[in-house]
Every structure is written in C-alpha cells, then in structure tokens.
C-alpha cells in the first residue's frame, strides 16, 4: 500500500527568508522515517492571488488561476501537513493565511503539525494556526517545534546548524511521532467513511 504523504509547507515567500532553513532540517529528520513520505511544498511555487480576486474557494471555477488549481490539487493529494511558520506581528504570515483560505474540503479530516520560528519560537503564530486548522476541520497536533532566539542567532550569526540543537531534534521527533499517529488514524477513518458512502452493490 502507498505510504501516506505529508507536505512540509514553507509559509513565507519574501526574499531572503529564513523558512528554507527549518524546512531543510526537518525534511532531513523526516526522511529517516519509513512509514510516511515527505515532500517540501513551497508557497513561492503557488503564486496565489488574494482570495476573491478570481474564483471562490468553494467552486472549481474556470476563472481560477493555474496556481489556485495546482494548490488545491496538491493539498487534496496530501494526507497531512507540517507547517513551517514564521511569526508576523504575532500571527501567521499573510501568504499562509491566504493559501489556507483558498482550500477547504482538501484539508478536512487531516492532521496538521507545526514548526514555528521567531522571538518566542513562533509560539503565538502556531497557536493561531491551530485555531485556523480547527476551522478547516484539520486535527492540529499538541506537540510542535519552536525555534527561538538561541538557535535563530546561532544559525543567522554564528554558523550553527539547527541539527546542532538537541532540544530541537528531540521536539522534531516528538512532533513527527504525533503526526504519524494522526496521519494513519485519520487516513483509515477517511477510507472507512468513503467505503460506507459507496452505493450498495458497488462493493466487491
């Protein structure tokens, strides 16, 4: 059976962003796991218009741009998400909120885990992101990675690597453990639900 797929989502798009660093680090750790497939999904590759400038998130509108259609297809094909998020003004980056607003059923009944970075480890953005994920009918994990001042300064100014920080490696493993449980559990639940919805006689 095909392994469930997790998107490691880089949520900032500005030039010179830090987001690539935690994405690469966590992909490296995640790649050592055998029961899930991981891929980086970069918002830069989906230049979404502000919602409402073209179609609606609830329709597959012909007016939707290619990026909008590709984004929904990509989200639909994944079984879970690991959001790598900065904290912008104590919340999630606008590009991420806009991208989340662009899809809905694609996210339903799937798990979301988090790696935040910023002065307090992106904690305020991650808390807000959990609430947004609940509204999108995702299951947000309790465990998350928080990359705070010490590792940020270490990487930006002292030539350190995120993997040099044991507490970060440990929290990444714990977050992936929880994400793995929810991914398998919810995938099985979605499959059961789809089977139950099949018309009588369609069963083999």
Ligand X SMILES: Cc1cc2nc3c(=O)[nH]c(=O)nc-3n(C[C@H](O)[C@H](O)[C@H](O)COP(=O)(O)O)c2cc1C
Applying CB under 6 A, the residues found at the interface with ligand X are 12, 14, 17-19, 86-90, 118-119
Residue with nearest beta carbon to ligand X:
118
Cβ pair 118, 86 in contact under 8 A: yes
Helical ranges in the chain per DSSP H: 20-30, 66-77, 94-101, 123-135, 149-157, 166-196
Hey, how many other C-beta atoms are within 10 angstroms of the C-beta on 150?
A: 14
Least distance in angstroms from the C-beta of 84 to ligand X: 8
Least distance in angstroms from the C-beta of 137 to ligand X: 27
Q: Which token pair is 149?
A: 């001042």
- If the CB atoms of residues 59 and 89 are measured against ligand X, the closer one turns out to be 89
- If the CB atoms of residues 124 and 187 are measured against ligand X, the closer one turns out to be 124
Least distance in angstroms from the C-beta of 88 to ligand X: 4
- If the CB atoms of residues 54 and 128 are measured against ligand X, the closer one turns out to be 128
- If the CB atoms of residues 41 and 86 are measured against ligand X, the closer one turns out to be 86
Strand 80-86 and strand 111-117: the pairing is parallel
Cβ pair 99, 71 in contact under 8 A: yes
Q: Single out the residue of 11, 12, 22, 9 nearest to residue 152, CA to CA.
A: 22
Least distance in angstroms from the C-beta of 125 to ligand X: 8
């Amino acid at each position: 059976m095909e392994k469930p797929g997790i998107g490691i989502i880089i949520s900032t798009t500005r030039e010179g962003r830090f987001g690539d660093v935690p994405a690469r680090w966590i992909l490296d750790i995640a790649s050592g796991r055998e029961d899930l497939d991981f891929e980086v999904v970069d918002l830069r590759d989906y230049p979404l218009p502000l919602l409402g400038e073209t179609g609606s998130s609830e329709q597959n509108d012909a007016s939707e741009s290619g990026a909008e259609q590709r984004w929904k297809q990509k989200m639909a094909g994944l079984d879970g998400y690991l959001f790598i998020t900065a904290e912008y003004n104590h919340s999630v980056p606008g590009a991420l909120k806009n991208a989340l607003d662009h899809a809905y059923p694609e996210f339903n009944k799937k798990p979301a885990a988090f790696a935040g970075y910023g002065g307090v480890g992106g904690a305020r953005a991650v808390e807000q992101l959990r609430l947004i994920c609940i509204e999108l009918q995702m299951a947000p994990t309790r465990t998350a990675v928080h990359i705070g001042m010490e590792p940020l300064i270490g990487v930006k100014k002292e030539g350190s690597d995120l993997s040099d920080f044991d507490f970060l490696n440990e929290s990444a493993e714990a977050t992936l453990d929880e994400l793995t449980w929810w991914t398998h559990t919810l995938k099985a639940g979605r499959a059961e639900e789809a089977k139950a919805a099949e018309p009588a006689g369609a069963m083999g």
